[in-house]
Amino acid sequence: MSHLVQLLLELGGIILALGVIGAVAGRIGISAIPLYLLAGLAFGDGGVYSLSASRDFITTGAEIGVILLLFVLGLEYSPKELIGTMRTGWRSALFDLVANASPGVVVAFLLGWGPLGAMVLGGVTYVSSSGIIAKMLTDLNWLGNRETPTVLGILVAEDLLMALYLPILTTALAGLAFSQAAWGLGFAALAIAGAFFVASRCGEFLSRALSSPSDEVLLLKLLGTILVVAGLAEQIHVSTAVGAFFVGMALSGEVSQTAEKVIEPLKYLFGAVFFVNFGLQTNPENLPPFLPVALALAVVSMATKFGTGWWAAREAGGQFSAKLRAGLILLPRGEFSIVIAGLAVSAGLQDGLASLAACYVLIMAATGPLLVRAADPIIKRRVRKLKAARLAARRTAAAAD
């Protein structure tokens, strides 16, 4: 069988399987994300069938998926809104860092992995998955909710911190002096500031430059711009997701609405590929020994991340429903956590760390979308109870009169 035939058969089979999975998930009323992850496990090393010809395409497609998910999320907000959110949410971002890095740090020391292991595992438990959360916000139609800007502020703060954390981690793992990473850190910070300046000051110019009466031309210009900016961001060690987010945030007016429409099919395709690729990177045979520790770590970090979202929404003046949704939507971990663990393995730090991180992230990525689905039923039950309590109080008052 030629390479091209095998490539087409593998890709066709995967995409068709994802379509069936999505249909099944929609029929039973759950998120398709956990099922996409399980599909990745089935087609990865140690699964029922190991992909070969399509692995490079899927890896690249997964990166494009994260980029497009964050671009679409950026379309929903303006620089002014982001400034306001970050200005009022810096305490939430600090609370997020302390509360959610701590479980990983403690477990690493308990397992005897030392300061470097603690630095790695702390990053794994700290950062939420922007890709998964962006898809959930879209799937659940929560983009217009009051708590979503607060959630977005936390995600952006995490991604920006990753732009500074990853060069430091790479330097530490290589055993180099911090001064040797100073230039990289400086460029990363400068790039973030420059991207925000362009998004806030030059958004109208960019919108005019990309605007076109033809959806085909708009798609080509838009996708090219997004990928170029993401590539430049990656080159200077800033998250590709951050670059894509700023491009989306810079667009405004009619071109912003049209951009979302033309990019949406690609977002669905490559977004699904992203979740499959995550499963492909995990060998199921390596997970069982670390399952107890990963479960315990997942329970603790779910509580701390839920507390982060609840507290942040409360600080923003949100009511019970906003606090509950904000707490649940932040639970999944994903792409950054795997990248962090991969850096540690490449540096020869701990093979077990990668397996623990993979098991932990798989649990968080699968259970997070399922737990989020519980938010609306809980809110509805609470509303019914409050209405019943008010009705009973009125009846009691009427009887007393």
Is residue 280 a part of any domain in this protein? no
Residue-wise pLDDT tens digits, 330-375: 998 876 787 787 677 667 776 678 778 878 888 888 888 888 888 8
- Determine what percent of the chain is predicted with pLDDT higher than 90: 20
CA angle 70, 45, 60 (to 5 degrees): 30
Q: Domain check: are 137 and 256 in the same one?
A: yes
Is residue 401 a part of any domain in this protein? no
Is residue 281 a part of any domain in this protein? no
- Determine what percent of the chain is predicted with pLDDT higher than 70: 87
Q: Of 100, 96, 151, give the one whose Cα is nearest residue 316.
A: 151
Whether residue 281 has pLDDT greater than 80: no
Given this model, what pLDDT does residue 19 score? Answer: 92
More confident residue, 327 or 83: 327
Query: Which pTM was predicted?
Result: 0.72
Q: Domain check: are 122 and 230 in the same one?
A: yes
86 falls in which pLDDT band (50, 70, 90)? Answer: low
Is residue 299 a part of any domain in this protein? yes
Q: Domain check: are 47 and 188 in the same one?
A: no
Q: Domain check: are 5 and 71 in the same one?
A: no
Q: Domain check: are 120 and 10 in the same one?
A: no
Cβ atoms 362, 369 nearer than 8 A: no
CA 380 vs CA 319, 320, 383: distances in Å: 14, 11, 5
Alpha helices in 44-147 (DSSP H): 55-75, 79-110, 114-126, 130-139
Q: Domain check: are 124 and 199 in the same one?
A: yes
Cβ atoms 133, 369 nearer than 8 A: no
Q: Domain check: are 121 and 151 in the same one?
A: yes
295 falls in which pLDDT band (50, 70, 90)? Answer: very high
Whether residue 183 has pLDDT greater than 70: no
Q: Domain check: are 248 and 342 in the same one?
A: yes
Residue-wise pLDDT tens digits, 15-70: 998 999 889 887 876 667 778 878 888 887 766 777 777 888 888 888 898 888 77
Is residue 206 a part of any domain in this protein? yes
Given this model, what pLDDT does residue 176 score? Answer: 56
Q: Domain check: are 373 and 386 in the same one?
A: yes
Q: Domain check: are 47 and 100 in the same one?
A: no
Residue-wise pLDDT tens digits, 136-169: 888 888 888 888 888 888 888 887 777 678 767 7
CATH number at residue 328: 1.20.1530.20
Q: Domain check: are 28 and 107 in the same one?
A: no
Domain that residue 31 falls in:
1-53
Q: Domain check: are 300 and 170 in the same one?
A: yes
- How many domains is the chain partitioned into structurally? 2
